[in-house]
């Protein structure tokens, strides 16, 4: 009884290890940044971000995932777009068996696009160069193909303000905020792309997010409207 139990356990272990799926590894095939109209790009598995001023310029070499961030300053309107073209398990099940989805709620000033990278039918690459994403998914579930994705920010900076944009590329969905998901249904592995925008003032103090400012603005407009109505009634 005891012996057969041990054999059963061993058998389970062997079956368990035998069935363990190979770790899926995403490869970053290409990337493009549009920073106020200046284009930086690389492809063919180039994960060296030379040519662009990223404060953390390397993704983890094991899986091409991690966090990248950069700072933008200067009075006026700014446009920032980052596009990434990952392949999940390309050598096992190709790069064109994948789909995209979105999750969470888009922040004020944020835009996005999921599409075929532009080799065949996708218009994402042209949109990145043009500085305006279409907020549309060209590679949804059921229309699997080569997936790439992009997130953009449009924002205004006052004098002495600095915007810090972070891009998180992970195999785990972010707990908060808007994200894009690239999914390989055969590997059942994903790459998630999310981004944050933080603005700081001259002393480094945080400036309210555009979303907060928008809400404050709406509230003030509402207060003024209510006041005016009351005045008219009198």
The footprint of Ca ion (CB under 5 A) covers: 85, 87-89, 93, 97, 115, 123, 134, 138, 146-147, 184
| Nearest residue to the partner Ca ion, using Cβ | 115
CB of 182 to Ca ion, least distance (A): 7
Pairing mode, if any, of strands 162-170 and 179-184?
unpaired
Work out the angle at residue 60's Cα, subtended by the Cα atoms of residues 145 and 209, and round it to the nearest 5 degrees.
80
For residues 85 and 196, which CB has a smaller minimum distance to Ca ion in the complex?
85
Nearest to residue 104, comparing CAs of 177, 167, 171, 174?
177
Which residue's structure tokens are 């592995």? 189
CB of 72 to Ca ion, least distance (A): 25
For residues 138 and 210, which CB has a smaller minimum distance to Ca ion in the complex?
138
CA distances to 56, 88, 143, 146 from 97, in Å: 31, 9, 9, 7
CB of 194 to Ca ion, least distance (A): 18
CB of 89 to Ca ion, least distance (A): 5
Which H/E stretch holds residue 4? Answer: helix 2-19
For residues 64 and 146, which CB has a smaller minimum distance to Ca ion in the complex?
146
CB of 42 to Ca ion, least distance (A): 15
CA distances to 65, 99, 193 from 190, in Å: 11, 10, 10
- Report DSSP state, residue 58: -
For residues 27 and 161, which CB has a smaller minimum distance to Ca ion in the complex?
27
Q: Are 8 and 102 in contact (CB under 8 A)?
A: no
For residues 181 and 196, which CB has a smaller minimum distance to Ca ion in the complex?
181
């Amino acid at each position: 009884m005891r012996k057969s139990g041990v054999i059963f356990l061993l058998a389970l272990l062997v079956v368990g290890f035998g069935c363990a799926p190979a770790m899926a590894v995403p490869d970053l095939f290409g990337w493009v940044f549009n920073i106020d109209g200046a284009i930086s790009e690389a492809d063919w598995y180039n994960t060296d971000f030379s040519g662009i001023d990223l404060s953390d310029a390397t993704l983890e070499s094991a899986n091409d995932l991690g966090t990248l961030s950069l700072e933008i300053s200067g009075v006026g309107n700014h446009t920032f777009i980052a596009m990434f073209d990952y392949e999940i398990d390309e050598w096992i099940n190709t790069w064109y068996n994948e789909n995209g989805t979105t999750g969470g709620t888009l922040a004020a000033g944020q835009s996005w696009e999921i599409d075929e990278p532009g080799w065949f039918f996708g218009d994402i690459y042209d949109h990145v160069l043009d500085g305006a994403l279409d907020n549309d998914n060209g590679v949804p579930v059921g229309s699997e193909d080569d997936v790439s994705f992009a997130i953009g920010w449009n924002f205004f900076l006052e004098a002495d303000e600095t915007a810090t944009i972070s891009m998180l590329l992970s195999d785990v969905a972010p707990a908060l905020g808007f994200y894009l998901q690239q999914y390989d249904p055969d590997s059942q592995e994903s790459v998630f792309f999310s981004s944050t925008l933080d603005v700081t003032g001259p002393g480094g103090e945080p400036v309210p997010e555009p979303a907060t400012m928008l809400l404050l603005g709406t509230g003030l407009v509402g207060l003024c409207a209510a006041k005016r109505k009351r005045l008219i009634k009198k």
